[in-house]
Amino acid sequence: MRVLVTGGAGYIGSVTAALLLSRGHQVVVLDSLATGHSDAVPPGAGFVPADLLDTAALGRVFEAPFDSVLHFAARALVGESVEHPDLYFRTNIGGTLNLLDAMRTHGVGRIVFSSSAATYGEPDEVPIVEDAPTRPTNPYGASKLAADQVLTAYAGAYGVAATSLRYFNVAGAYGRQRERHDPETHLIPNLLTAARGGAAAFTLHGTDYPTPDGTCIRDYVHVEDLAEAHLLALEAAVAGEHRIYNLGSGSGYSVREVLAEVERVTGRPVEVVEGPRRSGDPARLVASSARIERDLGWQRRRTLADMIRDAWAALP
């Protein structure tokens, strides 16, 4: 299969591109490098530095034949989306529309989209199922939900075979391919930086949540397990249908539990400073992955310790 991977110079996109190559597929990465890294593009993949908002460049990319698209390219910082909602709506929705229109023009009918748990907002019940109400609390989540709705409409109107995968928290590394966000907002890489001595202390935001140890509980999936879900979704996509799947563990870990596991795996203490809650942080976000397990046979194979160990080993 010849696959176009948008955002393939980013964290999840580059890992998925590498996994595709290891399974014998042909891969072309399209990335503007606004947040990605050219050296993250896996060896053996073609690379086109282009923006999805540049319709002329996008048209040139599709002059080569593709069988399918994996769509990761997006802005993905919640705080930034609040400050610059125009950037998020234009990039995440407009870029998706441009991509889908290019696919239609060139007869490419299969897409797997990198959606988000942010589409749900603050849930009424956990674990969260795909039929839960979607009430995003920030422009990032709203832009992802809008892109999902576009895919539903295109599947119905134009016969697109579409799948959206809604992630919760992704961690770990795939060889040397690791998280390199600027700024880094994710828990595990920030804890590892503190463990290595690259930060003075780790700030624990909120210790009075209604959870067993008072800290937030979040769901974590290894990036390689996540990449494997994309390959399964790509193979199973059905023309005229838009399927939505959550990816998580069904249980989750508190911040203190992750902290303790980081100290255990690395053998190093992490200095912690307790701070107030961050506005809008729900106490517990956990996904039910029963639907994708049933429909596609996906399994979460790697543990929290595996995520931490792989991410620690990949640090430069």
Q: What is the pLDDT of residues 193-235, one digit of tens each?
A: 999 986 678 999 999 999 999 999 999 999 999 999 999 999 9
Instruction: Note if the pTM is more than 0.75.
Output: yes
**Average pLDDT in the chain:** 95
Instruction: Encode pLDDT of 130-179 as tens digits.
Output: 999 999 999 999 999 999 999 999 999 999 999 999 998 999 999 989 99
pLDDT at site 281: 81
3-state helix, strand, coil in the chain (%, to 5): 40, 20, 40
User: What are 67's two structure tokens?
Assistant: 């069988």
- Better pLDDT: 279 or 118: 118
With 70 as the cut, is the pLDDT of residue 128 above it?
Answer: yes
pLDDT at site 176: 86
For the segment 51-55, the average pLDDT, to the nearest whole number, is 98
DSSP class of 277: P
With 90 as the cut, is the pLDDT of residue 79 above it?
Answer: no
- Is 154 in the active site? no
What are residue 116's DSSP bridge partners? 167
With 70 as the cut, is the pLDDT of residue 74 above it?
Answer: yes
For the segment 182-198, the average pLDDT, to the nearest whole number, is 89
With 90 as the cut, is the pLDDT of residue 183 above it?
Answer: no
With 70 as the cut, is the pLDDT of residue 59 above it?
Answer: yes
**Best CA proximity match to 144, nearest among 76, 68, 62:** 76
Q: How far apart are the first and last CA of the chain?
A: 33
Q: Report the sign of the C-alpha dihedral through residues 88, 159, 226, 46, in that order.
A: negative
pLDDT at site 240: 98
pLDDT at site 199: 65
Q: What percent of the chain has pLDDT over 90?
A: 91
For the segment 261-274, the average pLDDT, to the nearest whole number, is 96
Choice among 11, 88, 140, 245 that is catalytic: 140
With 80 as the cut, is the pLDDT of residue 114 above it?
Answer: yes
For the segment 100-125, the average pLDDT, to the nearest whole number, is 96
User: What are 308's two structure tokens?
Assistant: 């931490």
pLDDT at site 103: 98
For residues 3 and 26, what is the distance between their CA atoms, to the nearest angstrom?
A: 6
For 142-166, letters b (16+ CB in 10 Å) and e give: bbbbbbbebbbebbeeeebbbbbbb
Residue appearing with tokens 């994710």: 186
Quick one: pLDDT band at residue 182, thresholds 50, 70, 90?
confident
pLDDT at site 238: 98
For residues 148 and 54, what is the distance between their CA atoms, to the nearest angstrom?
A: 21
pLDDT at site 278: 82
Helices 139-158 & 95-105 angle (0-180, nearest 10): 20
Count of H helices and E strands in the chain?
11, 14
pLDDT at site 280: 73
For the segment 285-293, the average pLDDT, to the nearest whole number, is 96
pLDDT at site 251: 87
With 90 as the cut, is the pLDDT of residue 51 above it?
Answer: yes
